[in-house]
Amino acid sequence: MFTNPNEFAASLYSSLRKPVPHLSSTDHLDEGWKKITWTRFDKSKFGKRYTREQAHNYVLFIDNLREEIQRGFSDEIRNKLNATVSFGILDSGEINASIYKDRKTGYCAIFFNLGIIQFFSLYLQLREAYFRPQNVIYCTRGNPQDLDKSDYAKFMDEHFVNYLKDDYPNGPKIHLNKEANNRVGRLILIKDLFILAHEIGHFVNGDLDGGANFEACKELAGVEFFAGNSYHEREFAADDSGFKIVAKTQKIPEKKYTAGDLLMSSLCVFFCGLYTLNPRESATHPCSLDRCLQLAHKYCSPIGLEACINDVRRTRESIEQ
């Protein structure tokens, strides 16, 4: 019998992890890109705290996000969360996170798909390059001085196509100057915090209590998985709780006029990207653009809401074309 949720999560890794497929692109092997990546890592606050091996295993990702998220929790919620829920990352091939429960102990393990996390990090960098190509300092496909926004638009398209084909992020990679890197870094942080906060939202909302929302996992004896429902009420509620959690971590007053706009401007990019990967609702999750608009209607000012609605409209039109 497991004595803590981390032991339960560790027992699932080998069964749930999917092998990395044959990749459509070999840009990830570019030595110049890796050199800049690790030089920046070594000089960062993470490089002073973690080894490169820990960075490869994404230990710093989970540790950092949990620290950020738990700042806004009461001691009671924090202690209960740490005593019953473990978080991990693996190559699952799924767009959404997966939640598993040990039937005997009630411990839960929440796994985030490494591929989707890496996908959005690369996508947001390429998106910045599209809007501001002058901020690119390195590209695996050529000298940045010889590239313009049309090139980065093609790179983004390739990135989406490769991910949909391989279930793994691969394609052109870039590095941005410091200012742009910091701007994209904030987008990535908000996106990652919300992904984690959404799942913690299920915990806070009581969705993980008992067994009513779980089904038996046929492949793993004694293990249950969190099941969705066609009405998606739980997912919308987890989005709402997740938004509030992230707002607390960012010291953004709930329902404040410009604060909701600031947070939703980042999340709108994330939801629109999810829609590009899957423009339909699933058995477990609502359409990503519906999720975006529900949050925007509740937390944005009229100006911020209009901006989100316009982004959603353009995203729908681009997919329909």
- Measured distance CA(172)–CA(314) in Å, rounded: 24
Residue 256: strand, helix, or coil? coil
pLDDT at 126: 96
| Under 8 Å between Cβ of 292 and 271 | yes
- Measured distance CA(169)–CA(239) in Å, rounded: 25
Secondary structure element (H or E) that encloses residue 85, with its range: strand 85-90
pLDDT at 100: 94
| Under 8 Å between Cβ of 245 and 197 | yes
Q: Where are the extended beta strands (E) located within 98-253?
A: 98-102, 108-113, 136-139, 174-176, 214-216, 223-226
pLDDT at 93: 65
pLDDT at 145: 96
| Under 8 Å between Cβ of 117 and 89 | yes
According to DSSP, the β-strands at 108-113 and 98-102 are antiparallel
pLDDT at 39: 93
* Tens-place pLDDT, residues 27-68: 877 899 999 999 999 998 888 888 888 887 777 777 788 888
Burial of 182 per CB tally in 10 Å (0-12, 13-18, 19+): exposed
- pLDDT tens, the chain, 321 aa long: 899 999 999 999 878 877 766 777 878 778 999 999 999 999 988 888 888 888 877 777 777 888 888 877 888 888 999 999 999 888 766 667 889 999 999 999 998 888 888 899 999 999 999 999 999 999 999 999 999 999 999 999 999 998 888 877 888 999 999 999 999 998 998 999 999 999 999 999 999 998 888 999 988 899 999 987 667 889 999 999 999 989 888 765 555 546 688 889 999 999 999 999 889 888 778 999 999 999 999 999 899 999 999 999 999 998 887
- Going by C-beta distance under 8 Å and a sequence separation of 6 or more, which residues neighbour residue 27? 33, 140, 141, 170, 171, 172, 173
Whether this model's pTM surpasses 0.85: yes
pLDDT at 297: 95
Tell me which DSSP letter residue 28 carries: G
- Going by C-beta distance under 8 Å and a sequence separation of 6 or more, which residues neighbour residue 173? 27, 28, 30, 33, 122, 125, 139, 140
pLDDT at 89: 86
Residue 106: strand, helix, or coil? coil
Break the chain into its structural domains and give their ranges: 5-251
pLDDT at 90: 80
According to DSSP, the β-strands at 108-113 and 85-90 are parallel
- Measured distance CA(273)–CA(124) in Å, rounded: 9
Residue 214: strand, helix, or coil? strand
pLDDT at 95: 67
